[in-house]
């Protein structure tokens, strides 16, 4: 089924575009933090294939998997200046460089993944995309990254359970504020270092979605995954704005069409593989704790919102847009 979907996506995208004659082919380097077995890796490979097919080889994408081009904050910097052309980025680490992108890093801002996509498809998404493009990282498609939950050597079922724990977070002050508000000790750290840090006890826990929890072996060095689902953060295919704008309008729409096709594929894969990742980690011994009532976690975030909006009053509009989106 995988092949069939891929093949028909490539055919569909190719059919919507005119055959172009290759004049000056260029190769774009793409950053991807994930390795084989993660939905985004397959989606980025498909994106590269589709770009090649639809632009008739005028644009080629060379994807570097497994974070070999550097950590996420470094790669973002590289894309913003055009040293790397594009990447599959999580919007969390984009917050420190693009204020508008921080909307998605406010804990519990979205009710669900479909709600998040509805917000992205509306005015708030447009404002975020503009802020990102102005900073040099232009989103041309949105990926699903599910919800992030806590994992550690004990269940985390209330904010009180976080008290005194050292929890690894991605690089963004909103996440350090989130952990501090629960009485924990936040520890910002690169993704590549987390498994070792969990193993050696440098941190007591971390938070992520099921595919990432499984794929990089965090489940091998922890025991409990507790469904707090405190963050629903989208990901993007983001391209250096100047490189993208230097393409002819025709090539731009072909690259966009390829990105849309890759995102469609990624979301379908995500749906299946996040369920599979959960089943696999449970089979490997991880105890998954359901949290019936998340309101104590949500209430603990009141001070995070209050302080954030006090320091960034202009973000209130985006928060209101997200909250008023059905
Ligand atoms: C994963 C994201 C990846 C992040 C990682 C992290 O896909 O972009 O770097 O989490 O926690 O789910 O750093």
One domain for residues 28 and 72: yes
Does 111 reside within a domain?
Answer: no
One domain for residues 139 and 252: yes
Residue nearest to atom 13 of ligand 1 (CA): 191
pLDDT of residue 191: 97
Describe the strand order of the beta sheet including 86-90 as a list of residue ranges.
59-64, 26-31, 86-90, 235-240, 137-143
Please count the structural domains in the chain.
2
Q: How confident is the model at residue 200 (pLDDT cuts 50, 70, 90)?
A: very high
* pLDDT greater than 60 at residue 17: no
Element at 231 (helix H, strand E) = strand 224-231
One domain for residues 286 and 160: yes
Does 128 reside within a domain?
Answer: no
One domain for residues 318 and 201: yes
One domain for residues 296 and 158: yes
Of 64, 47, 8, 86, nearest to 254 by C-alpha is: 47
* pLDDT greater than 60 at residue 253: yes
Residue 170 CA: nearest ligand 1 atom is: 13
pLDDT of residue 315: 98
Mean pLDDT of the chain: 95
Q: How confident is the model at residue 203 (pLDDT cuts 50, 70, 90)?
A: very high
Signed CA dihedral, 147, 229, 277, 192: sign only? positive
Q: CA–CA separation, 223 vs 212, rounded Å?
A: 15
Residue 140 domain boundaries: 2-97+135-144+234-276
pLDDT in tens, 64-109: 999 999 999 999 999 999 999 999 999 999 999 999 999 999 999 9
Ligand 1 probe mutation, 30, 31, 32, 33, most atoms within 8 A of CB: 33
Ligand 1 probe mutation, 76, 90, 218, 237, most atoms within 8 A of CB: 90
* Last residue within a domain, chosen from 276, 294, 310: 276
Q: CA–CA separation, 248 vs 231, rounded Å?
A: 38
Q: CA–CA separation, 122 vs 94, rounded Å?
A: 20
Describe the strand order of the beta sheet including 148-152 as a list of residue ranges.
185-188, 166-169, 205-208, 148-152, 224-231, 287-289
* pLDDT greater than 90 at residue 18: no
* pLDDT greater than 90 at residue 5: no
Does 124 reside within a domain?
Answer: no
CATH number of domain containing 204: 3.40.190.170
Residue 148 CA: nearest ligand 1 atom is: 12
Residue 191 CA: nearest ligand 1 atom is: 13
Q: How confident is the model at residue 239 (pLDDT cuts 50, 70, 90)?
A: very high
One domain for residues 189 and 313: yes
One domain for residues 313 and 286: yes
pLDDT-above-90 percentage for the chain:
92
One domain for residues 205 and 139: no
* pLDDT greater than 80 at residue 11: no
Do residues 167 and 186 lie in contact, with contact meaning Cβ atoms separated by under 8 Å? yes
pLDDT of residue 229: 98
Does 300 reside within a domain?
Answer: yes
Q: How confident is the model at residue 152 (pLDDT cuts 50, 70, 90)?
A: very high
pLDDT of residue 20: 46
Does 304 reside within a domain?
Answer: yes
Does 266 reside within a domain?
Answer: yes
Q: How confident is the model at residue 216 (pLDDT cuts 50, 70, 90)?
A: very high
Q: Which protein residues touch ligand 1 with a CB less than 6 Å away?
A: 33, 72, 90, 145, 170, 191, 208-209, 212, 235
* pLDDT greater than 80 at residue 37: yes
* pLDDT greater than 90 at residue 4: no
One domain for residues 221 and 239: no
Residue nearest to atom 9 of ligand 1 (CA): 191
One domain for residues 184 and 294: yes
Averaged pLDDT for residues 180-201: 98
Q: How far is the CA of 40 from the centre of ligand 1 (A)?
A: 11
Ligand 1 probe mutation, 66, 191, 236, most atoms within 8 A of CB: 191
pLDDT in tens, 255-305: 999 999 999 999 999 999 999 999 999 999 999 999 999 999 999 999 999
One domain for residues 205 and 320: yes
Of 237, 261, 263, nearest to 31 by C-alpha is: 237
pLDDT in tens, 21-32: 445 689 999 999
pLDDT of residue 25: 87
One domain for residues 140 and 71: yes
Does 187 reside within a domain?
Answer: yes
Does 205 reside within a domain?
Answer: yes
Q: How far is the CA of 252 from the centre of ligand 1 (A)?
A: 28
Do residues 139 and 129 lie in contact, with contact meaning Cβ atoms separated by under 8 Å? yes
């Amino acid at each position: 089924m995988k092949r069939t979907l891929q093949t028909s996506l490539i055919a569909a995208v190719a059919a919507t575009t005119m055959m172009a004659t290759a004049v000056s082919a260029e190769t774009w380097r793409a950053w991807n933090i994930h390795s084989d077995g993660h939905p985004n890796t397959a989606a980025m490979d498909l994106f590269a294939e589709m770009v090649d097919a639809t632009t008739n080889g005028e644009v080629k994408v060379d994807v570097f998997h497994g974070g070999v081009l550097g950590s996420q904050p470094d790669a973002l910097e590289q894309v913003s200046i055009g040293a790397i052309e594009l990447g599959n980025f999580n919007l969390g680490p984009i917050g420190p460089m693009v204020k508008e992108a921080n909307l998605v890093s406010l804990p519990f801002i979205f009710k669900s993944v479909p709600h998040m996509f509805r917000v992205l498809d509306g005015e708030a998404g447009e404002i975020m995309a503009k802020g990102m493009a102005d900073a040099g990282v232009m989103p041309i498609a949105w990926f699903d990254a599910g919800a992030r939950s806590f994992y550690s050597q004990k269940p985390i079922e209330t904010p009180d359970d976080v008290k005194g724990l050292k929890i690894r977070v991605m690089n963004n002050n909103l996440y350090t504020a989130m952990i501090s508000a629960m009485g924990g000790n936040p520890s910002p750290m690169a993704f590549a270092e987390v498994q070792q840090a969990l193993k050696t006890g440098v941190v007591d826990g971390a938070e992520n979605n099921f595919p990432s929890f499984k794929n990089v072996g965090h489940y091998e060095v922890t025991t409990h995954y507790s469904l707090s689902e405190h963050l629903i953060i989208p990901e993007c295919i983001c391209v250096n704005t100047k490189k993208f704008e230097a393409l002819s309008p025709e090539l731009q729409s072909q690259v966009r069409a390829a990105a849309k096709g890759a995102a469609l594929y990624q979301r379908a894969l995500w749906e299946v593989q996040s369920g599979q990742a959960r089943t696999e980690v449970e089979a490997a011994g991880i105890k998954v704790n359901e949290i019936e009532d998340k309101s104590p976690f949500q209430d603990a975030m009141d001070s995070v919102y209050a302080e954030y909006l006090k320091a960034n009053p202009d973000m209130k509009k985006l928060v209101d847009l997200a909250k008023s989106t059905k």
